[in-house]
Amino acid sequence: MVKKARIAVMVSGGGTNLQALIDAQHSGIISCGEIVLVISSRENSFALERAKKAGIEAHVVSKKACGGQDIFETKMIELIDSKEIDLIVLAGFLTILSQDFVARYDHKIINVHPSLIPAFSGEGFYGIKPHVAALERGVKVTGATVHYVNDIADGGEIIAQKAVEVREEDTPETLQKRVMQEAEHRILPESVEKICINIIKDKK
């Protein structure tokens, strides 16, 4: 039996996309990969509870506690390499990674972004901010994008996108929720499975 691709998920907040990945494993949407590690940049992240409930090893690596980017990334590298990780998924991970870190795991890091890149993307566009910008601009369609991570914020090769209609009565909060449910939570697990299939093929 071919081993599954080994996945690390990096988080900072509530972990809704982590939960979508865990659920996708249970339902069989993700069958060629397995989440074996969760890294949170914050001690109070609810994502840690989600990992614990699912029986996934989880660690907190805080940039502030580490005293800087170098030690912060060194600790994450030690964890990632010790678990022989094949794919790193940034799921609401709010700390910018250095060029060296990204280059070390070239085409092994993916991110989900809450807009249709290149719209409302790049430095400063995270969390609810893309949804605020979408409503201020008056766009009729927004959505989510899964992309590879490179040294440019939201600048890596696009893997998948899904559009979501913007409604007249939308607030940033209602739009954020719908983009998560209708786009992020669908295309992220699908993209992970697609990449894991290729990882396994390459290992054969």
Residue pair 71/79 in contact (Cβ under 8 Å)? The answer is no
CA 175 to chain centre: 19
Residue pair 12/92 in contact (Cβ under 8 Å)? The answer is yes
User: Beta-carbon neighbour count of residue 138 at 10 Å?
Assistant: 7
Q: Are strands 87-90 and 109-113 parallel, antiparallel or unpaired?
A: parallel
Active-site hit among 113, 131, 147, 185: 113
26 is catalytic: no
Report the alpha-carbon distance of residue 132 to residue 15 in Å, rounded: 21
Catalytic residues: 113
